[in-house]
Amino acid sequence: MKQSLKLVLPSKKYLKEWIAFQKETLAALPIDNPDRAGYEKHIVSSLKPRYFKWLRDDRLGINLEKGMVQQTIWWGMVGTKIVGRISFRHKLTKTLREHGGNIGYAVRPKFQGKGYATEMLRLVLKKVAKLGYKKVLLTCDDSNTASWKTIEKNKGILDRKEVIDGTLSRFYWIKL
């Protein structure tokens, strides 16, 4: 099934799907998970008329909020279903070097464990290589086995493990 996965730029056409993706992701998070607030805020933002302009500006690197960098988000789609999302941050700030790196991703809970994250990352790395990048940084919690396996399956080289804000994190480089 993963062979039919395509990366598409966000479009209003699939807004309902995108909201469903976020609501299902939020519902799967434990009640004390600190990421919940971000998802709740993002669901509200997604419904605002300027949401797609905001994504476009991020993609072009214009009108960015302080501390934010140019970022391109793609939806991983199988047919008309959004199975995941993946983003590429075009530059590394001090904050991103410690947490987040160049690439972040998530797969909708009911589609996890089917190889979609591995495939989304493979496809994004091809796009990033075409943009001229030679290497990208990926970070994840040491306890996030699914995430570091996704990175290692895409030739991620473990640079180091380090405790950041009390959490043991892994830092990987992928050469393009």
Ligand X SMILES: CC(C)(COP(=O)(O)OP(=O)(O)OC[C@H]1O[C@@H](n2cnc3c(N)ncnc32)[C@H](O)[C@@H]1OP(=O)(O)O)[C@@H](O)C(=O)NCCC(=O)NCCS
Q: Note the residues at the interface with ligand X (CB under 6 A).
A: 104-107, 112-118, 140, 144-147, 149-150, 153
Coil, strand, or helix at residue 167?
strand
DSSP state letters, 62-100:
-SPPTT---EEEEEEEETTEEEEEEEEESS--HHHHHTT
**Closest chain position to ligand X (CB):** 117
Q: Toward ligand X, which CB reaches closer, 56 or 144? A: 144
CB of 3 to ligand X, least distance (A): 13
* DSSP 8-state class, residue 110: G
CB of 98 to ligand X, least distance (A): 13
Report the C-alpha gap between 115 and 73 in whole angstroms. 19
Of the pair 72, 169, the CB lying nearest ligand X is at: 169
Give 38 or 113: the residue with its C-beta nearer to ligand X: 113
Phi, psi of 154 (to 5 degrees): -110, 30
Query: Smallest distance, Å, CB 18 to ligand X?
Result: 15
Q: In terms of CB distance, is 78 or 106 closer to ligand X?
A: 106
**Of 146 and 157, CB closest to ligand X:** 146
Q: Rounded to an integer, what distance in angstroms lies between the CA atom of residue 58 and that of residue 35?
A: 21
Residue in the block written with tokens 């501390």? 67
What minimum distance in Å lies between the beta carbon of 129 and ligand X?
A: 20
In the complex, least distance from residue 53 CB atom to ligand X, rounded to whole angstroms: 26
Name which of 116, 59, 52 is nearest 83 in CA terms: 116
